[in-house]
Each structure stands twice: as structure tokens, then as C-alpha cells.
Structure 1
Amino acid sequence: MFAAADNLTPVTLELGGKSPVIIDDQIDMDVAVSRLIYGKCLNAGQICVAPDYVLCPEHRQEAFIHAYQRAFRAMYPDFEANQDYSQIINQTQATRLEATLQDALEKGARRWCALDQEAMPTAEKRRWPTQLLTHVTDDMRVMQEEIFGPLLPIVTYQNFTEALAYIQARPRPLALYLMSNDTEKRTQVTTQLHAGGMGINETVFHVAAEDAPSAALATLAWGIITALKLLYL
């Protein structure tokens, strides 16, 4: 921005960040997964606001994995020939994702393929089903970088306050999703957490509201209102 200002050069600010999905203790798991999996599988996860990791109650982790596998198989029957699923965009990105996956596995993560335990994906084969990862830690690349692809780490928590604290202790998310029908938990998330955008019981769709006012338009409107106030003082 500093260099651009010196030369009066227009710039575009692209926000980034890891986008978590919080699953609460009560919501029907199949419902939660059906809302989450669309956003993660759309363009094989290669969307800036795609779910980047899942915060799941520890005792529901196995149920989440099985529900995700069921939903994935139902969405993409005959996976290899299915034209509704995207591949990783190029070899460079496939190599990056393979290295990220290998880094996690070498540091203790466990892999759960969305198509049961299919063979390990490689960079040469750019069409990957979602790779769910458990036992992830902060020293893994998959928990440090924006994934932008079909890897989905699962972080477990004991209580909802712990889940909120996990997000608060990290850089603010680009998008934040909550799977919950609990009014109190919805209020906690929307008042205690900061993110570029939020969705409740959905993923990705908040950026599809094309008639929502943009930040630039809102700033312009505020400037006009302020000018009018000064004019009539």
C-alpha cells in the first residue's frame, strides 16, 4: 500500500485467513455435515471462504467423520467419473497440498479419506476426495496456512467456551461458520468473535448475496451523510 500510494497506483486488498466451522454439541450431525460439505467440496475447496478446519466436540468426532463420508459418497457417486467434482487447479498447487498433507502425517496426524480409506492422494493425481485429518497440532503446516484445497483438519474441544477461546487466540478468520440451533451459542459467536463474514447453519452463501452493500458503498454513504450534517450545522 505504501509503495502504491507513492505512485498513485490502484491496489486490491485480498483478505486471507483460516475459516473455522464450529459444530455444537446438540445439532443433528447429518444436518451440520450437509451444510458444511457443500462449501468444502465446491471447487474442491479452492475458494477463499471454504471451511478450513472444523471445531468439533471430542465425543462427536467419529460421528462427524462417518457423516462426512456418507454425505460425500451420496454427493459424488462413481467419484472418478463424476463431472460435478473439480480437480486441483494445477501441478504446483497439487504439489503444495501433497507436501502439506505429508507434513501433517509425519507430525502425528491421522488421515480419513471421504471415500473410506482410499489410497494416499499424490500430486500426480489432482482429483482428490476430501482428506479429513485428526490429531492435528499447531506446528503442522495444515494448521498454519490457508489450505485452499481438499484437506479438512478436525480440532476437538471439550466445551463451547474452549472452542471460542481457540478462535480468539488466533488471527481473525476470513469466514466463520457455526452449526447450531442454540440461540445463546449463536449470540456468543456473533458478539464475542470477529471475522470477515459469518454464517449460521450454512457455508459460503454469505458471499453470494450480490445485492448486499459493499464496504466502499457504505463508506461513500457515510461520507455523504457527514457532509450533509456539516452543511446544515
Structure 2
Amino acid sequence: MKKFAVLPVLLLALAACVSTEQIVRVETLDAATSQPKVLLMEPDIRYYILTMGGLLEPNKELSEAAQRNFLAAVRDYAEQHEFDILQLPPAAANDPEVNAYEKLHLAVGQTLADNYFGATQLPTKHGQADWGLGPGISFLRDRYGADYALFATYRDYQASGGRLAFAILAAAAGIAVPSTAEFGFASLVDLDTGEIVWFNKVDIGAGELADAKGARDAVETLFKKLPASQP
């Protein structure tokens, strides 16, 4: 199984608080109809196990369960908040054009999270929040009848039993050992212009996706202050 070195910036050790940072460029959604339609892109959900040695092991089974829990939580969220959510058809998973924009969002979202909210901002942006995926994404509007596209990326890092035992022993000796964390970001993209009109970045304790309640907590945090579908 492939392993990854731990990223300390993501694994901040048993934090109970939730940190969120946002860009909000619109308060309400506009559309030709009275009820704007939001196309939910395939969520990019990954679940990792942190080993005792400090490596991240991707877990396919738990990632698939986390994906299911996340999608169910999004449906609940849409119903509670009266959003008209459209889901991509299964065939879109193999659509090169759709896949290209999903990859583009991952790159742009990570850059935004690191450089707009981070300590080092891109000099060409001058602190401005005018980020986007380009007007070419309007094909989603034409193809699916949507006004906006909603992208979500979420990483769930949970400690193995050995790692937890190690963390407890280390804590007894006064040493903090990273053990568990969640991290993610979501974007709402105007399909007329390609502009990101809302962006939310979450860190630490946002919600663990292995169970339904944790997924609901994660979705509520990730979609915090998502612009209303109606004035």
C-alpha cells in the first residue's frame, strides 16, 4: 500500500475547535428562474489512516464510506436549506471535460487556500479575491441546466490504534504527537462567468466522515454561509 509522509500543517493533534476562512462575493444566488439550480460536482473525499510511524495510508474502503456519508449529508443539507441541488449523472465520472474542471478546481482551491489565506500571498493578486475557473466551465450550464457548480474537497486523517497509544504515552511525557485532523474547502462557481463567488476553507475538527453524524457536521461546517438560493 502506498504511503505518504505526514504534513504537519494538516495534522495539528487532537484539536477540538474548528477553524474556517471564507470569501463571500454574493449574498444571494441569481438565475433566470425563481429557484437557482446548483450542480453538485463529484466531491473529492479522501480518508487516510495515520500509522504509528507517522505515515499516511490511503484507505479505499473508508474513503468510499466517507464519500457515501458525505453525499447523504449534502442531500440532507439541501433539503433543510431549500437548495435545488442537481447531481451529475454516473456517466460524468468518465467525462474528460468534467474531469479536467474537477482537477482545475483542486489546483485553484489549494492555491487559494494556501496563498489567499496563508502567510504568503501571490504578488499578482494584491490580496484580491477575484479567483475563478474560467468561462469555459459554462458548458455545465448548457449541458445540465444549472446556474452554479458546487465543488467540495475534504481530507479526513484518523489515527490507527497504535498511533493513538503512542500519542497517549507521549502526552504522559509532555510531548505532543499529531494524531487526527480534518481539512477541506468548497467553492461555488457562477456558470455564466466561471468566477468563484463563494469559497470556504475549514481546518481541524470540522467533522469525521466515518459516521453519518460526523458527515453532517462536516457538511454544515464546509457549507457555512453558503449564499441563499432565494433572497
Question: What's the TM-score, normalizing by structure 1?
Answer: 0.25
The structure where helix makes up a greater share of residues is: 1
Structure whose alpha-carbon radius of gyration is higher: 1
Higher relative contact order (CA 8 A, sep 6+): 2
The structure where strand makes up a greater share of residues is: 2
